[in-house]
Amino acid sequence: MGRMETNDQAAIRAVLCGDRDAYAALVAHHSRSVFRVAYRITGNEADAEEVVQDAFIRGYRKLESFESRANFGTWIYRIAVRCALDKVGRRANEHQQTTIPIDAEPETIQVPDRTPSPEDFVLSGEIGAFRESAMHSLTPLERTAFTLRHMEDCSMEEIAAVLEIAPNAAKQAVYRAVHKLRQRLALLKVRT
Amino acid sequence: MNHLSEEQLIELYYSEDGPEAARHLDTCPECARNYEGLQADLGDMKPVQPPLRNETYGQQVWESIADRLPAYTPPKKHWVLRPLWLGLSAAAACALLVAAFYAGRMWEHRQPPVQSAAVTKPVPPAPPRVVVVVLSDHLERSERFLVELKHASADDDELALPLRDEARSLLAANRTCQQEAEASGDPVLTKALDHLNGVLTELADHPGGLNAEAIAKLRQEMDAEGLLFEVRVLRSRIPDHEASIHKHGTGGIA
């Protein structure tokens, strides 16, 4: 067990003995890695900040169920991913009316007011923004599974464990995400 | 020839598929072309670089959530059995120390004097492993005690009696550890144990009896919070020390 993990365990024991301030050390050690994954999943700084806070609050409340042999960093990372998934899910519901149906014919796309068209992105040179828009076309589960596989380099087994789904379901989520993203990118390439 | 599906190509890209798919690409130009297309598309989806967060970010997060976190209540039921257990464990610790001491003395007497031509650099004697374990236990108990002292309510007299009993129990073990610390020549440990001794003595034998008000006053006067920090620092040094004993077989408490 490394020095960092030893310190984490000591801090957890102190918190459970009533020293609330000992949790500050855990927050300090892990907040940046939690922010990184939260930002990658939500794609939004403000949402990522909320996810970081939610994750540490949720972690604090569940600290009694934390197994002393486990790694706190991994544990809080998983909580953060689930918080981010919830956040993306809520955002998806809020914007359900404004998304472009992926299977619609390009000629018949009804571009909503709040979602720029591929041409807008090309004209403004914001290819990166188009990619971000393509990410938003995924379901929350697909987006999270793809982010964990493609950007966080998690294995399919790890993704399944974090999202509490079967390994095959994790694979299918990644496949669907890649398929949809490629369709979106193809659309962009045709227009340019 | 069966071409590779998009799913197989994705598995290959993420190194989840076996070498069979890779071999197929060498013999099938169409699949190789499809795979290149997939590589290009996924290469375009570069990992998002989050905005940088500085060293104080953790502190900012903590400040934003601290008010929403109620302190855990230490389990009070332990107080019922604690004096008995603490008494037994303190007695066991003392017995171990005495046994280790006499075992060391006997071992020294039985060894023939070693005469060597080579003059080696003198190394400080390592404390017996049992001393390290006892010290580790003592510091852990002291940390718990100080946390409870820190959070003892100023209007709850019920805590006074258990705290006094705990202080008395810790006092005996602390004096043993003080002697060991002085013998090992570790000034930091000696100073912290002296400080702890002062706090424990005041709590154990407070004139006029101990009550919540007296506890609050002592906590302030004796800088119990600073002592808690010192104890935590000392505890964090113990694992390294144990490792050094295994590795070198020599060294002080530091």
At B141-187, the pLDDT tens digits run 888 888 888 777 766 667 777 888 888 888 888 888 888 888 888 88
- CA–CA distance from B208 to each of A73, B50, B196, B205 (Å)? 49, 61, 21, 9
Q: What's the pLDDT tens digit per position in B36-48?
A: 999 988 888 888 8
Higher-pLDDT residue of A49 and B159 is: A49
Say whether A185 and B44 touch across the interface (CB within 8 A): yes
Position B104: which residue type? G
**Confidence category of residue B247, pLDDT binned at 50, 70, 90:** very low
Chain A residues within an 8 Å CB radius of B150: 19
Say if residue B77's pLDDT is above 90: no
C-alpha to C-alpha distances, A126 to A113, A116, A188, B45, B46, nearest whole angstrom = 18, 11, 12, 14, 14
What are the tokens at A116?
Answer: 């720029």
Task: List, as own/partner pairs, every contact residues A77-82 make where C-beta atoms lie below 8 angstroms and the sequence separation is at least 24, other chains included.
Answer: A77/A30, A77/A33, A77/A34, A77/A37, A77/A162, A78/A161, A78/A162, A79/A55, A80/A34, A80/A37, A80/A38, A80/A51, A80/A52, A80/A55, A81/A37, A81/A41, A81/A144, A81/A148, A81/A162, A81/A163, A82/A162, A82/A163
Q: What is the pLDDT of residue B250?
A: 40
- One fold for both A1-98 and A104-192? no
User: Is A131's CB within 8 Å of B45's CB?
Assistant: yes
Best of B4, B6, B8, B10 to mutate (most A CBs within 10 Å, chain A): B10
Q: What per-residue confidence (pLDDT) applies to B169?
A: 83
pLDDT tens for residues A133-156?
788 888 999 999 999 999 999 999
- pLDDT, residue B244, reads 42
Nearest Cβ partner for A178 among B10, B16, B73: B10
Domain layout of chain A by residue ranges: 1-98, 104-192
pTM comes to 0.55
Residue B147 to residue A178, Cβ atoms within 8 A: no
Q: Which ipTM value was assigned to this complex?
A: 0.79
User: Do the beta carbons of residue B130 and residue B100 sit within 8 Å?
Assistant: yes
Residues of A in contact with B151 (CB under 8 A): 18-19
- Distance of alpha carbon B19 from alpha carbon A163, whole angstroms: 29
Cβ neighbours of A14 in B, within 8 Å = 143, 147, 232
What does the alpha-carbon distance between residue B162 and residue B145 come to, in Å, rounded to a whole number?
10
- How close does chain A come to B33, measured CA to CA in Å? 15
What is the residue whose two structure tokens read 């072309």?
B33
DSSP string, B155-216: T-GGGHHHHHHHHHHHHHHHHHHHHHHHHHT-HHHHHHHHHHHHHHHHHHT-TT---HHHHH
Look at the block and give the residue holding tokens 């071999």.
Answer: B23
Cβ(B10)–Cβ(B37) below 8 Å: no
State chain B's mean pLDDT as an integer.
Answer: 77
Q: For the segment B22-34, what is each residue's pLDDT rounded down to a tens digit?
A: 888 888 999 999 9
Phi and psi at residue B204, in whole multiples of 5°? -75, -35
Asked if A182 lies within 8 A of B41 by C-beta distance, the reply is yes
CB contact under 8 A, B50 and A18: no
Gap from B156 CA to chain A (nearest CA, Å)? 16
* Closest to A42 (Cα-Cα) out of A28, A60, A54: A54
Q: Say if the Cβ atoms of B38 and A48 lie within 8 Å.
A: no
pLDDT of residue A12: 93
A181–B45 C-beta distance less than 8 A: yes
Confidence of residue A107 (pLDDT cuts 50, 70, 90): very low
Look-up of token digits 């580790």: B136
- For the ranges A66-80, A95-109, B12-26, the lowest mean pLDDT is seen at A95-109
Lowest mean pLDDT among A5-14, A21-30, A57-66, A175-184: A5-14
A156: Cα separation from own chain's centroid: 15
Place of tokens 């007299």: B157
Residue A104: strand, helix, or coil: coil
In angstroms, the CA A80 to CA A77 distance is: 5
Q: Provide mean pLDDT across the span B83-109.
A: 78
Check whether B251 has a pLDDT greater than 70: no
Compute, in degrees rounded to 10, the torsion defined by CA atoms A78, A82, A87, A88: 100
- Could you say which architecture CATH assigns to the domain A1-98? Orthogonal Bundle (1.10)
Q: pLDDT value at position A161?
A: 92
Share of chain B above pLDDT 90, in %: 12
Q: Which helix (H) or strand (E) holds B217?
A: helix B212-221
CA angle A93, A99, A102 (to 5 degrees): 120
pLDDT tens column, B115-151: 544 445 555 555 566 667 678 888 888 888 888 887 7
pLDDT at A21 over 90: yes
Q: Chain B: which residues have CB within 8 Å of chain A?
A: 6-7, 10-11, 14, 16, 38, 41-42, 44-45, 47-48, 50-51, 53, 57-59, 61-62, 64-66, 68-74, 143-144, 147-148, 150-151, 232, 235-236, 239
Q: Do B10 and A175 touch (CB under 8 A)?
A: yes
State the architecture of A104-192 in CATH terms. Orthogonal Bundle (1.10)
Alpha-carbon span B184 to B177, nearest angstrom:
10
Q: For tokens 């505890």, name the residue.
A: B235
Give the model's pLDDT for residue A29.
Answer: 93
Cβ contact A56–B65 (<8 Å): yes
Confidence class for position B231, pLDDT limits 50, 70, 90: confident
The Cα-based distances of B220 to B142, B147, B149, B214, B226 in angstroms read 17, 14, 11, 10, 10
Instruction: Give the distance from residue B221's alpha carbon to the nearest chain A alpha carbon, in angstroms.
Output: 20
Q: Residues A8, A29: contact at Cβ < 8 Å? A: yes
- How high is the pLDDT of residue A28? 94
Cβ atoms of A48 and B53 within 8 Å: the answer is no
Between A and B, how many CB-CB pairs are < 8 A? 112
Share of residues in chain A with pLDDT > 70 (%): 77
